[in-house]
Structure formats: C-alpha cells, structure tokens
Amino acid sequence: MLSWKLPRLLTVQQVPKVFHEDSIICGYRSPRSSAAACVLSLFQMTNETLNIWTHFIPTWYFLWRMMSVLSSPGALHDPFLWPLLVYMLSCCIYPLMSTCAHTFNVMSTQARHICFLLDYGALSLYSLGSAIAYSAYVFPDRWVNSTFHQWFVPCAVFNTIISTNMSCYSRFPEATRPRLSKVLRTSAFAHLYLFDSIPLFYRLFLCSGDDCAHNAALTMHIWHTVFAFLTGFLFATHLPERLAPGCFDYVGHSHQLFHVCGILGTYFQMEVLIMDMNLRRTWLLDNSSLPSLSSTLGAWCLAMIITLLVIAAFSWALYWKPKEQDKRR
C-alpha cells in the first residue's frame, strides 16, 4: 500500500530568521522542503495552509468569470470590453501567483525570495489592470477626456514599475531591518491603490452634481473600498496575532485575514466594474473614445515585460548574495 508521510512541522526557533513570521510561533515547514513535500503540505494544517487555499480556490472563480465574458458573442472584437478582460486576466494571475509563492517558498532561502518577487510583480500588474478598467468605466463624467484621464494609464504603468522595484528591493533589508522592509513594501502597494482610486474617491466623496456618474454601482464601490482598507490594515498591523503570539498560528492570523479581505475586495471590484460598465455603456460610447489595444493589453504587456526584467535582476542579485558572503568568510 502507498502511504504518505506528512512533513514534520517546526517552531520559529528551528527555522532561519528570514522564514520568521511576526508573532507566529508554530506550524513552520522545513526551509529545505522538496517540491513534492511542498505540495503534500497543502493537505496538512500548517501556518501557510489557509494562505494557499484562500487564493487558490478564488483563482478558479475569477477564471470562470473571465471565460463567461469571453464566451459572449463578439467579446474579443468589442473594444469596449478590452479593459475589463485585461483586468480579469490580472485578477486570475495574482491569486494564482500568490498560491505558488506560499506553496513553494520553503524550498530554500533563494526560492523564498524569488517566489515573493513574482508575487509582488503579479500584485503590481493587478493594480495596473484595475487602473485600465477604472480609466474605461469609473471616471466621473466631468473628468472623461480630461488631461488627467488621457495620462491616467501611462502614469499607472510608471507606478507599476516603481512599485515592483520598491517591493522587490524590500527583500534585501528584511532580515537586518524588518521595519524598513515593511515600510517599503506597504508603501509600494499603498501608493498604487491610492493613485488608481483617485477617480473613484472623487466620485464617491467629493463630486456633486449631474455629471458625477452617480448610479446604483456606488454602494458596491463602497464595499470594495472597505475591504481594500481592511486588507491594508491587516497587512500593516499583524493583528490579531500580535496581541496573543502563538494563539493564531494555524487559523485566524493577519495574513489569512489579509488574503480573505483582499479576495473579497477583488470580488466586489470585479462585480461593480461589470455593473458600472453596463450602466454607463451608452453614455461612455457617446462621449468618450473607444479603448485602444495599445492603451489596454499593450500597456499591460509592456508593464509585464518590464516587471519580469526587474524581477529577473533582483532575483539574480538575491540568488548570488549569499554565495558572495560565503566566499568572504
């Protein structure tokens, strides 16, 4: 008979510092796990198990939603749908990349760094997908065709590159200066979200009058905003495990809640973008130019290529850094 031996779990004192999670005491996998052991660990309760499943399962939902749009007649030939499809593609990629990162990051120190560099790149590209969709469907009527509207996507591409560089660089001081690493990483993604949300925040909280695109989608936009705030709050504070170290090692720690709130935020964002697109379609087609291939998939692909080059450069630096230190010793 075939028997599966589940990997032995370790405590925080038994793993290198780079693998430590704030206020998490138990449930660590071996930092020298094989790929097979990483996959097998999906079926035992570790401090990463729920991190993995809370992103792996929603990936398939987002993929189903994208395929349902793609299967509609003429979807690929309708430029009005291109921003939504680019956004949906990014929604499928980032939770899948997060799943892979959390599954295989314990193969080695270098593997951990590279896994999360790819995770950060996917998050940056998701933010760009959001910006492309916001540019097409969310801008208040009075801002449509303005100078800010015309430069919104190019600025979002630039911000994506800056965010990828900042978040990737944050891996370097993680062991020696963890607070600096946390500030860099939080800032990298916070500035993306805040920039992308400028038209939404204006429409929700500042705009008044008939040209603000006030419609039934605003309530769901608020729900997305609430979950986005909770996502950032949980990532930055490490609550609740910071209040009771060791009590939330397997279930209920901030990274699990961060994943859940992030996915719920993406769900509400996707649904409200589809709602906004349908409610405003006639007005937007009459008053705004159709999205182009270069401003949607072209911009996203350009950012993806640059992001991969940035990740490759940082991966090379992180991979060789330990070896160079060993030679000096």
pLDDT in single tens digits along all 329 residues of the chain: 345 677 889 999 999 999 999 999 999 999 999 999 999 999 999 999 999 999 999 999 999 999 999 999 989 999 999 999 999 999 999 999 999 999 999 999 999 999 999 999 999 999 999 999 999 999 999 999 999 999 999 999 999 999 999 999 999 998 788 899 999 999 999 999 999 999 999 999 999 988 999 999 999 999 999 999 999 999 999 999 999 999 999 999 999 999 999 999 999 999 999 999 999 999 999 999 999 999 999 999 999 999 999 999 999 998 776 544 434 33
Q: What is the pLDDT of residue 318?
A: 81
pLDDT attached to residue 118: 97
Looking at residue 4, what is its pLDDT? Answer: 65
Q: How much is the pLDDT for 5?
A: 73
CATH of 47-69+81-320, one of 1.10.260, 1.20.1070, 1.20.59, 1.10.150: 1.20.1070
Q: Which residue has the tokens 């987002």?
A: 62
Domain ranges of the chain: 47-69+81-320
Name the pTM for this structure: 0.94
**Predicted local confidence at residue 319, as pLDDT:** 74
**Ramachandran quadrant class, 10 (left: phi over 0; alpha: psi -120 to 50; beta: rest):** beta
